[in-house]
Amino acid sequence: MTTKVKLAVTGLKCGGCEKTVTEKLTALAGVLSVQASHAENTVEVEYDTAVVEEDDLIECIEEAGFTVED
């Protein structure tokens, strides 16, 4: 099943940050699309829940050096 999640992310300061998060997430199997916005401090991800879980997305973002808010 495909779903979308919009995550509040701290530390997105510029287009380079958006690019980093987008590249890291799109490298994960099951991620279909990523929209990162430093202006809104959000990352919206469309993904296949049969392949990847939301916790995997959060872990990936945090490993890239950003913080996902609850």
Give 20: exposed, middle or buried? Use CB within 10 Å, 0-12, 13-18, 19+. middle
Domain residue limits at 19 = 2-68
CATH number of domain containing 14: 3.30.70.100
- Render pLDDT for 35-68 as a digit per residue (tens, 0 to 9): 999 999 999 999 999 999 999 999 999 999 999 9
**Torsion sign (Cα): 18, 24, 26, 31:** negative
- Confidence band of 70 (pLDDT split at 50, 70, 90): confident
* pLDDT at residue 39, rounded to an integer: 97
Q: Is pTM, for the whole model, over 0.85?
A: yes
Total number of domains in the chain? 1
Taking residues 12-24, what's their average pLDDT? 97
d(CA 30, CA 15): 24
Give 39: exposed, middle or buried? Use CB within 10 Å, 0-12, 13-18, 19+. exposed
Question: Per-residue pLDDT for 9 more than 90?
Answer: yes
d(CA 13, CA 48): 28
